[in-house]
């Protein structure tokens, strides 16, 4: 039997503890699959004495993750601290410089520094793996990088923040407004310390930018992701969308278009009967579309001790098995810088607006759409409240630019009160 593969684990939160438990509980099974034993030799975390429900007394302790990453008795540096820069990045760089492979669950670090880190690792002949950074337990990084490697990818989509999906489905099922469900999620401990990472779409946007890079052979470009959170989604829109056969999801979409790489993370309508539409609660789902394979859908838990540790350990076992694939599926130095494209693909849109009670108001709105070449799929006007009447419109496919022009024309008519709600309908 070969020598053990020795892990140094930085960060003993939920995921780190999950990794230690798997190493302890499944040692025999993993050794059979990996072809060699896997052992943790050293750890570091904020507090040494905290009771984590797992014994770390036989592991070497380091206060400094950089020191951990440089230890002689560590072959693989497992980075579970989080944070785009700071200690996580410093320790990862130290690990690469010290000749270690790296496994990380840190989407923020890779979204911001992934290109440089991958180049450094590949120059040094080492690997950075990050299955746990995207969609938790779903082995989607592997599916995209290896399982679909013969495909020219056409589109990658995903619901990749379980907290947002929980909030949106709970709003619908309980008929509650955003604020109430947000508070509920906070009480349940579902939110990050900085909730904007979740509800602002940042966390999910990080993940999307990593999948984009693999799918399209481009440098990670998180800055180019159009980010829109769920804070503006109203219970009215959720209910109106449901009435018309849709669900509202915080959906990430990346696709290569003739104008460049489009990356969006925003609330979208999807058909209620589609797999994405049917995704309820805290689950994650990723949809991968390739020219040969068609559409592959993967569903599972996007967070939590077991699922995330499962993904971390799969990367570690890959390394033990000698599997060495470039971080983003091809050498980082050869990744292209994508030209960012904004809404370059036509789509149907959902519009909700308050129409002033004036003769011909509806006709003026319809005229503004028609003048911009936008045809209407469905329109509903409801009874008046105060001086305005709610109007819902589902358009046929149109370019976002044409829609913006129509919205500007509508504003000029003086019959629309306030700013219309505009949500893209993603065809899935």
Instruction: Pick out the residues of the known binding site for NADPH.
Output: 107
CA distance 131 to 110: 12
Contact 345, 253 (CB under 8 A): no
Alpha helices (H) in 99-234, listed in sequence order: 107-123, 140-142, 162-174, 178-187, 196-199, 202-216
**Is residue 147 near a second copy by the rule CB under 8 A?**
yes
Binding residues: 107, 192
Identify which range of 68-76, 82-90, 145-153, 202-210 contacts a second copy by CB under 8 A.
Answer: 145-153
Of the ranges 59-67, 87-95, 273-281, 397-405, which one interacts with a second copy (CB under 8 A)? 273-281
Judged by beta carbon, residue 81 or residue 298, the one nearer a second copy is 298
Q: Which residues contact 202 (CB under 8 A, 6 or more apart)?
A: 196, 227
Verify binding: residue 378, a second copy, rule CB under 8 A.
no
Overall size of the chain counted in residues: 428
Residues near a second copy (CB under 8 A), total: 58
Out of 142, 170, 207, 219, the only residue in the binding site for a second copy (CB under 8 A) is 142
Interface with a second copy in residues 149-168 (CB under 8 A): 149-152
Does 1 help bind a second copy (rule: CB under 8 A)? no
Token pair of 273, please? 């009967």
Residues 6+ apart with CB under 8 A from 294: none
Number of Cβ within a 10 Å radius of residue 415? 23
User: Considering Cα of 273, then 275, then 276, then 280, what sign does the dihedral take?
Assistant: positive
Identity of the residue, 82 or 290, whose beta carbon is nearer to a second copy in the bound complex: 290
Please pick, from the candidates 260, 300, 340, 346, the single residue that binds a second copy as defined by CB under 8 A. Answer: 300
| Nearer Cβ to a second copy (94/133) | 133
Query: If phi over 0 gives left and psi between -120 and 50 gives alpha, with beta otherwise, what is residue 45?
Result: beta
Sheet containing 128-129: order of strands: 60-61, 38-44, 5-10, 76-79, 101-104, 128-129
Choices 162-170, 191-199, 293-301, 374-382; region in contact with a second copy by CB under 8 A: 293-301
Q: What is the largest CA-CA distance in the chain?
A: 85
How far apart CA 77 and CA 164 sit, in angstroms, is 31
Least separation in angstroms between residue 150's CB and a second copy is: 3
Tell me how far, at minimum, the Cβ of 164 lies from a second copy, in Å: 19
Site string for a second copy, 11-50 (x = CB under 8 A): -------x---x---x--xx-xxxx---------------
- Could you say which residues in the range 310-349 bind a second copy, by CB under 8 A? 310-311, 313-314, 316-318, 321-325, 329-331, 334
Q: Which is nearer to a second copy, 330 or 367 (CB)?
A: 330
Nearest approach in angstroms of CB 113 to a second copy is 23
Residue 295 touches a second copy, criterion: CB under 8 A: yes
Give which of 291, 299, 394 is closest to 347, Cα–Cα. 394
Annotated active-site residue 89? The verdict is no
Alpha carbons 85 and 89: distance in angstroms, whole number? 5
- What is the C-alpha separation between 181 and 185, in angstroms, rounded? 6
Active site residues: 207
Q: Binding residues for a second copy, per CB under 8 A?
A: 18, 22, 26, 29-30, 32-35, 131, 137-139, 142-143, 146-152, 217, 273, 275, 278, 290-301, 304, 306-307, 309-311, 313-314, 316-318, 321-325, 329-331, 334
């Amino acid at each position: 039997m070969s020598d053990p593969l020795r892990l140094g684990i930085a960060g003993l939160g939920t995921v780190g503890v999950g990794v230690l438990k798997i190493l302890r509980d499944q040692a025999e099974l993993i050794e059979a699959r990996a072809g060699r034993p896997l052992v943790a030799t050293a750890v570091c975390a904020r507090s040494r004495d905290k009771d984590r429900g797992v014994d770390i007394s036989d592991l070497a302790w380091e206060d400094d993750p950089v020191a951990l990453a440089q230890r002689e008795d560590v072959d693989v540096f497992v980075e579970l601290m989080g944070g785009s820069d700071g200690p996580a990045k410093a320790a990862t760089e130290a690990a690469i410089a010290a000749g270690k492979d790296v496994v990380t669950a840190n989407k923020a670090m890779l979204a911001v520094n992934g290109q440089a880190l991958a180049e450094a690792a590949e120059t040094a002949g080492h690997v950075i793996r990050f299955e746990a950074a995207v969609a938790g337990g779903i082995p989607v990084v592997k599916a995209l990088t290896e399982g679909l490697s013969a495909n020219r990818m056409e589109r990658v989509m995903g619901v990749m923040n379980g907290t947002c999906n929980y909030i949106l489905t709970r709003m619908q099922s309980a008929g509650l407004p955003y604020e109430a469900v947000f508070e509920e999620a906070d009480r349940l401990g579902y939110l990050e310390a900085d909730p904007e990472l979740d509800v602002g779409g940042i966390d999910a946007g990080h993940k999307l930018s990593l999948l984009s890079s693999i799918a399209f052979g481009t440098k990670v470009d998180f800055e180019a992701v159009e980010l829109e959170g769920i804070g503006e989604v109203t219970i009215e829109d959720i209910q109106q969308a449901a009435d018309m056969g849709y669900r509202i999801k915080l959906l990430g979409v990346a696709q290569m278009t003739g104008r460049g790489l489009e990356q969006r993370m925003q609330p979208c309508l999807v058909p209620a009967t589609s797999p994405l539409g049917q995704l309820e609660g805290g689950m994650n789902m990723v949809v991968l579309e390739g020219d040969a394979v068609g559409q592959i859908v993967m569903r599972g838990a996007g967070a939590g001790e077991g699922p995330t540790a499962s993904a971390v350990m799969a990367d570690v076992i890959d390394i033990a098995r000698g599997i060495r694939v470039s971080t983003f599926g091809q050498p980082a130095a050869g990744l292209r810088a994508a030209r960012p494209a904004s809404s370059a693909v036509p789509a149907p849109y959902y519009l909700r607006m308050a129409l002033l009670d004036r003769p011909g108001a509806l006709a003026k709105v319809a005229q503004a759409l028609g003048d911009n070449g936008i045809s209407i799929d469905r329109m509903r006007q409801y009874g008046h409240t105060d001086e305005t009447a709610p109007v819902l419109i589902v358009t046929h496919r149109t370019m976002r630019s044409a829609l913006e022009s129509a919205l500007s024309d509508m504003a000029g008519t003086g019959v629309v009160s306030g700013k219309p709600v505009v949500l893209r309908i993603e065809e899935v």
